[in-house]
Amino acid sequence: MRNEVPEGGFLFRVEVHDYNPQGSVLKWPADQDPEGRGLLLVDALCQRWGHLPKRTGGKFVYADIPALGPEAER
């Protein structure tokens, strides 16, 4: 996992590395399903998220979280 705050920006970026090259897709699991809600939480909490391929295989999955403070957009 890597955290970064872009220069001049007010976002906190979290990146994780995933060995699966397939893209991440929002799913709407049934109430009784024991898994499948991770990206729903990410989507609700973040300004944006997505994935980018890694040159060595797999992908980066990132989430940009608005920073708190007077300049942060709510």
Query: In total, how many domains does the chain have?
Result: 1
Model confidence over 25-48: pLDDT tens digits?
888 888 888 887 888 888 888 889
Q: How many residues does the chain have?
A: 74
**Number of other residues whose CB lies within 10 A of the CB of residue 65:** 17
Q: Is the pLDDT of residue 65 over 80?
A: yes
Residue 24: phi and psi, rounded to 5, are: -90, 135
Q: 41: domain range?
A: 12-66
Averaged pLDDT, 45-74: 81
For residue 20, the one-letter residue type is N
pTM of the entire predicted model: 0.67
Model confidence over 1-23: pLDDT tens digits?
555 666 666 778 888 888 888 88
Instruction: Give the tokens for residue 55.
Output: 């040159």
